[in-house]
A and B are shown apart, each in its own frame.
Chain A
């Protein structure tokens, strides 16, 4: 009964690996850019705050699929040749998810008392140093549960790269399904894989949430 899955397992799993790779890029770039976005959102300089705010509010109103398409159309024009869907997808994800990570970081930054920042400044640290050694590390630790939750969402979102033909798991499942027509098994399988990763991830997030609630260390 599960022959369709077993015979195509390597093919499907390599597709799943693509999802994972895409997620790794999306998370790495998204977290980094997100920290910058968060800093921009609490900035007192209007020429930083306003563009970043527009960027965040703009992207949060638009479906990710559309962003993926948009970059798919835009990137060849900018770069001068057609691109690997993976690269186009990775850029879309980084730009998109950074807005969500940015808002999480922003909440984290705002939870840090002004006096703590003042203490850092009064030892002579400049803005860049204070942001790098104090603001970002503390916000990151405080917001870890939310960051993990958002990372899980990002991982789920990698399935949407389907629409530009990326050979990730969902696309490969539809390809196998068109040959074997064992839809129930195949789609249950891909659902199960995602479920396991996301469920485990949300448990980890819950664990950190409990830990920080009890410890109140940070």
Chain B
């Protein structure tokens, strides 16, 4: 579904992505881990066109991002994204946060959009917060709303950029549960995270990135039990302490 071929990216002189190659099939769950600054978030942002890349090619559902004729907006409808700091629209209610894009992009009627929004809020467990403003919600609740907002556009794939890193420990679990539920329903997922428990349970493939490169990839337990590269071993040792 997503093909990443030889992608390279620079910020000025600094190379932030080096020869990235990866294929994500429909229904696959890929977890990306690595130290900060390794380019994980940048890679996600390149996939939905929020950031440009300089060499190589990214193809989403058959459409290449390198093609100047590609309509990035339409492409982004297919990929939902959840951010570390939730990024809910502070001046709108939870309901409007979720319903905005379906109404304005898919031209759904307000009734239709709000009905769908309520369904999604049920699914993430907070239907009672529909009329609240983001500032009145806890971090965990905000992030669940963010997931609902991304799901409202019925994407084929969901990307998560460190979704629990900004949360207090008690709230991490409620968000992970929603994500695990999504995974079980068959959603294609690309998750950047340090939550190795989640990775163990859900990931088909785990990628370790460092300094802009994919250092190692593995499947499930194999990755944790016998990492091949020294850097991977060091990183895992830190993370799994």
Contacts and interface: CB of A to CB of B under 8 A. Distances in A.
B80 interface: yes
A75 interface: no
Nearest to B45: A118
B164 to A, nearest CB: 16
Interface in A104-130: 113, 115-116, 118-126, 129
Interface in B86-112: 87-91, 100-101, 104-106
Given A113-B85, A134-B89, A123 B146 contact: no
Contact of A125 (B50, B73, B133, B146): B73
B90 A122 contact: no
Interface string B72-90: 0110110111011101111
A142 B152 CA distance: 28
* Best-buried of B77, B83, B91, B149 by chain A (most CB within 10 Å): B91
B135 interface: yes
Contacts of A113: 85, 87
Contacts of B79: 122
A133 B73 contact: no
A126 B105 CA distance: 8
Interface string A116-154: 101111111110010001100110010000000000000
B101 to A, nearest CB: 4
Interface residue SS majority, chain A: helix
B105 A125 contact: yes
Contacts of A129: 104-105
B101 A124 contact: yes
A218 interface: yes
B150 interface: yes
B188 interface: no
A130 to B, nearest CB: 10
A1 B225 CA distance: 97
Contact of B83 (A115, A133, A141, A215): A115
Nearest to B149: A123
Contact of A118 (B80, B87, B91, B105): B87
Nearest to A134: B89
A139 to B, nearest CB: 10
B48 interface: yes
B117 interface: no
Interface string A162-189: 0000000000000000000000000000
B83 A119 contact: yes
Contacts of A122: 48, 50, 76, 79-81, 150
27 contacts: A113-B87, A115-B83, A116-B89, A118-B50, A118-B81, A118-B83, A118-B87, A119-B149, A121-B50, A122-B50, A122-B76, A122-B79, A122-B80, A122-B81, A123-B76, A123-B101, A123-B105, A123-B152, A124-B73, A124-B77, A124-B153, A125-B73, A125-B104, A138-B89, A215-B135, A217-B133, A218-B90
The 10 closest A-B pairs by CB, nearest first: A123-B101, A124-B77, A122-B81, A119-B87, A124-B105, A217-B135, A116-B87, A126-B73, A118-B50, A115-B87
Interface of A: 113, 115-116, 118-126, 129, 133-134, 137-138, 141, 215, 217-218
Given A118-B50, A120-B101, 6 more contacts: A115-B83, A119-B146, A122-B81, A124-B74, A125-B105, A126-B73
Interface of B: 45, 48, 50, 73-74, 76-77, 79-81, 83-85, 87-91, 100-101, 104-106, 133, 135, 146, 149-150, 152-153
